[in-house]
């Protein structure tokens, strides 16, 4: 078993690193469930790469949603290690390169496991995307404040006013119409929403609503109906928010993904459902409309619907995942990182 010695003399094993990478890959959310990441396990570090074979080249040409997705898996891996008593240092060098890592976890040190870490790790195992309308119960202000507090730094969460929600609704339907007119975009969406469950990628019909929900802000149009009963609800009690920050580049997108993960897990622990609305940000024209809701120099990363999950039965099944062997590559123990990079 390979080990890496910390300042305290305690060691993390490569098996623990590989396990954390696999756990993160199993639970992290990603755009259209593309799982656009790859982990490489070294004896003393974990490298995270973007996976170009699962990049949505038509609808996400700059890779913003790909890198956002990689940010969620990075946060999930750090959380998994923290829940096992290991704090990691993270070097972030995000780019769309398939050969240079987006991030490297190293310098593992033993750390006390905080109760909130345990709670978030539990939430990681139950979190899922629910595209059905949320309940009529509004989110209590202290809960909303606790969720907003998960984005205190370079990436922040702005709760939208009633007027801004109407602007968001208009922008979402414009983005949807533009996608609908683009045959290449339709083809890409159709590919990722018609994979058999056994492939472990994309969205199977079981997680897609059987008809559009009665909502002010429409959910993403998938081009065809699924089999998930939508139910009678209306999103009238939902809260809408923008995740935003200063830099519209891979560094900002990776941080946004990490923050999205932190928000989503905290929300899950408080029974709040989170639904990302990403097309409205991926389409340049409507992204600009969202930008006007923010202060000058800020950029939107994602729109989010937040709401108390509807207690009605029929929650969507888990979206499938690729086997860990596809996503986690372990190097033989005698290959050092330096040798391997040559
Ligand atoms: C960056 C990002 C963008 C997403 N955009 C959307 C979206 O626009 N509409 C939607 O219904 N789900 C969206 N999702 C949710 C994913 O489809 C979902 O995470 C994925 O299918 C895995 O399912 P799970 O979250 O249930 O594990 C997004 C997720 C991420 C991380």
Q: Is 32 in the pocket of ligand 1 (CB under 6 A)?
A: yes
User: Quick check: is 167 in a domain?
Assistant: yes
Pocket test for ligand 1, best of 54, 254, 278, 321 (most atoms within 8 A of CB): 278
Q: How far is the CA of 45 from the centre of ligand 1 (A)?
A: 28
Ligand 1: residue whose CA is nearest its atom 13: 276
Which numbered atom of ligand 1 lies nearest the CA of 316?
26
Query: Sorting pLDDT into bands at 50, 70 and 90, what band is 242?
Result: very high
Residue owning the nearest CA to atom 3 of ligand 1: 31
Same-domain status, 189 and 121: no
User: For position 95, which CATH number holds?
Assistant: 3.40.109
329 and 246: one domain?
no
Do 115 and 183 sit in the same domain of this protein? Answer: no
Range scoring the smallest mean pLDDT among 17-21, 280-284, 287-291, 306-310: 306-310
Q: How many angstroms separate the alpha carbon of residue 127 from the centre of ligand 1?
A: 11
Between CA 70 and CA 59 the distance in angstroms is 17
Helix axis angle, 162-180 to 284-291, nearest 10°: 170
Q: Is residue 164 part of a domain?
A: yes
Which ligand 1 atom sits nearest the alpha carbon of residue 131? 11
Which residue segment(s) compose the domain that 36 sits in?
3-126+323-341
131 C-beta closer than 6 A to ligand 1: yes
Tell me if 304 CB under 6 Å of ligand 1. no
CB distance 71 to ligand 1 below 6 Å: no
On whether both 302 and 211 belong to a single domain, the answer is: yes
pLDDT score of 96: 81
> Is the pLDDT reported for residue 55 higher than 90?
yes
Q: What is the mean pLDDT of the chain?
A: 92
Atom of ligand 1 nearest to the CA of 69: 31
Q: How confident is the model at residue 1 (pLDDT cuts 50, 70, 90)?
A: very low
- Asked whether residue 153 is assigned to any structural domain, the reply reads yes
Is the same domain home to 84 and 172?
Answer: no
- Three-state SS letters, 304-316: EEEEECCCCCCCC
pLDDT at 278: 97
What is residue 323's predicted lDDT score, i.e. its pLDDT? 95
Q: Indicate if 115 and 158 belong to the same structural domain.
A: no
Q: Is the per-residue pLDDT at 188 higher than 90? A: yes
Does the Cβ of 74 fall within 6 Å of ligand 1?
no
pLDDT one-digit tens code per residue, 66-125: 999 999 999 999 999 999 999 999 999 988 887 899 999 999 999 999 999 999 999 999
103 and 164 belong to one structural domain: no
Ligand 1, pocket-test mutation among 64, 71, 126, 129, most atoms within 8 A of CB: 129
In a domain, 56, yes or no: yes
What is the best residue among 276, 286, 305 to mutate for testing ligand 1's pocket, by most ligand atoms within 8 Å of CB? 276
CB of residue 60 inside a 6 A radius of ligand 1: no
Instruction: Examine residue 131 and state whether it is found in any structural domain, yes or no.
Output: no
Same domain, 25 and 170: no
Distance from C-alpha of 134 to C-alpha of 272, rounded to nearest angstrom = 9
pLDDT at 342: 27
d(Cα 27, Cα 140) in Å, to the nearest integer?
27
Q: Are 155 and 261 part of one and the same domain?
A: yes
- What is the count of structural domains for the chain? 2
Residue 339 has pLDDT above 70, yes or no: no
Residue-wise pLDDT for 151-184, tens only, equals 999 999 999 999 999 999 999 999 999 999 999 9
In the chain, pLDDT over 70 holds for what percent of residues? 94
Q: What is the pLDDT of residues 189-206, one digit of tens each?
A: 999 999 888 999 999 999
Indicate whether residue 4 lines ligand 1 (CB < 6 A): no
The whole-number pLDDT of residue 275 equals 97
- Report the CATH number at residue 171: 3.40.109.10
Share of the chain above pLDDT 90, in %: 82
> What pLDDT score was predicted for residue 310?
77
Same domain, 116 and 149: no
Asked if the structure places residue 247 within a domain, the reply is yes
Q: Report yes or no on 314 lying in a domain.
A: no
Q: Do residues 262 and 145 share a domain?
A: yes
Which atom of ligand 1 is found nearest the CA of 65? 1
Domain annotation covers residue 135: no
Tell me: do 52 and 177 sit in the same domain.
no
Identify the pLDDT of residue 123.
98
pLDDT for position 338: 39
Indicate whether residue 29 lines ligand 1 (CB < 6 A): yes
């Amino acid at each position: 078993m390979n080990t890496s010695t910390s300042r305290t003399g305690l060691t993390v094993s490569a098996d623990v690193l590989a396990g954390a990478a696999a756990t993160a890959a199993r639970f992290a959310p990603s755009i259209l469930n593309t799982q656009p990441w790859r982990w490489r396990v070294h004896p003393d570090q974990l490298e995270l790469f973007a996976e170009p074979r699962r990049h949505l080249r038509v609808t996400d040409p700059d890779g913003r949603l790909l890198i956002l997705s990689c940010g969620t898996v990075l946060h999930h891996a750090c959380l998994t290690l923290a829940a096992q008593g290991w704090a990691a240092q993270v070097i972030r060098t995000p780019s769309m390169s398939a050969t240079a890592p987006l991030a490297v976890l190293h310098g593992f040190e033993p750390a006390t496991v905080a109760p909130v870490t345990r709670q978030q790790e539990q939430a990681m195992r139950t979190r899922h995307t629910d595209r059905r309308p949320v309940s009529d119960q509004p989110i209590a202000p202290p809960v909303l404040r606790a969720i907003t507090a998960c984005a205190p730094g370079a990436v922040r969460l702005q709760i939208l006013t009633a007027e801004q929600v109407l602007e968001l609704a208009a922008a979402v339907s414009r983005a949807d119409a533009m996608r609908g007119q683009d045959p290449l975009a339709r083809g890409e969406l159709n590919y990722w929403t018609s994979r058999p469950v056994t492939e472990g990628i994309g969205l199977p019909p079981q997680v897609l609503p059987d008809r559009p929900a009665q909502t002010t802000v429409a959910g993403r149009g998938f081009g065809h109906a699924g089999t998930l009963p939508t139910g009678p609800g209306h999103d009238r009690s939902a809260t809408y928010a923008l995740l935003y920050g200063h830099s519209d580049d891979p560094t900002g997108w990776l941080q946004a993904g990490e923050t999205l993960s932190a928000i989503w897990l905290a929300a899950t622990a408080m029974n709040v459902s989170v639904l990302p609305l990403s097309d409205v940000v991926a389409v340049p024209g409507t992204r600009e409309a969202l930008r006007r809701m923010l202060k000058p120099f800020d950029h939107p990363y994602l729109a989010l619907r937040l709401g108390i999950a509807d207690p009605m039965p029929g929650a969507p099944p888990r979206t499938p995942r690729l086997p860990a062997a596809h996503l986690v590559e372990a190097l033989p123990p005698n290959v050092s990182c330096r040798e391997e990079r040559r």
